[in-house]
Amino acid sequence: MKNPPLPTRLILFTPVHLLAFGFGAGLAPRAPGTVGTLVGIPFALAVIAMPPLQMVVALAFLIGAGIYLCGESARLLGVHDHGGIVFDEIVGYVIACLPLMPILRPEGLSLVVGLLLAFGLFRFFDIVKPWPIRWLDRHVHGGLGIMVDDLLAGVFAAVILYVGNLAYS
């Protein structure tokens, strides 16, 4: 289903929309979810560099903020999970990158390669939506519904990346 066109000015000058649309990344004419995931790279680098307790607090904050921002942006637009809302991709990608924390990443695996692997795995699970991701996407509504499929896609990607890291090391 195609989303209605949005005035760029509305997105870029309304704080909730600006954040939910990944600082404008969600306005990309093609593959806004993929472009939004790119915005997640600096977030992921910041989070994986944190000590574990700070990382948990940061993730909880990002998830809570995402539930609010995505839900409020959708409500204001009158469109549930508008394709331009990409804060969920940003947070999902951060989760996918958790196995790249220095204490978990194998010595020989470069951070750049790890970020690319996490990106590919996350996008795969976000697009294909295997069970239970697809079920959750269809049955959970509001801000949590917008976020939950991407959070789980991030978890799936993180598990595969972690297992791959174990095999690599």
pLDDT given at position 151 = 98
Average pLDDT of the chain to the nearest whole number: 93
Higher-confidence residue of 11 and 6: namely 11
Across residues 54-69, what is the average pLDDT?
98
Report residue 105's pLDDT band, with 50, 70 and 90 as the boundaries. confident
| Confidence check: pLDDT of 5 > 90 | no
Report residue 106's pLDDT band, with 50, 70 and 90 as the boundaries. confident
Across residues 36-52, what is the average pLDDT?
97
Report residue 167's pLDDT band, with 50, 70 and 90 as the boundaries. confident
Let me know how long the chain is: 169
Across residues 97-103, what is the average pLDDT?
91
Q: What is the pLDDT of residues 117-143, one digit of tens each?
A: 999 999 999 999 999 999 998 999 999
Across residues 93-108, what is the average pLDDT?
89
**In whole angstroms, what is the distance from residue 150 CA to residue 155 CA?**
9
pLDDT given at position 145 = 95
With beta carbons less than 8 A apart as the criterion, state whether 48 and 100 touch.
Answer: yes
Q: What is the pLDDT of residues 9-43, one digit of tens each?
A: 889 999 999 999 999 999 999 999 999 999 999 99
- Report the sign of the C-alpha dihedral through residues 100, 48, 31, 141, in that order: positive
With beta carbons less than 8 A apart as the criterion, state whether 96 and 150 touch.
Answer: no
- Report the sign of the C-alpha dihedral through residues 162, 68, 39, 5, in that order: positive
User: Which stretch of DSSP H or E encloses residue 8?
Assistant: helix 8-13
| Confidence check: pLDDT of 76 > 80 | yes
Cβ-count burial of 73 within 10 angstroms (0-12 exposed, 13-18 middle, 19+ buried)? buried
pLDDT given at position 3 = 65
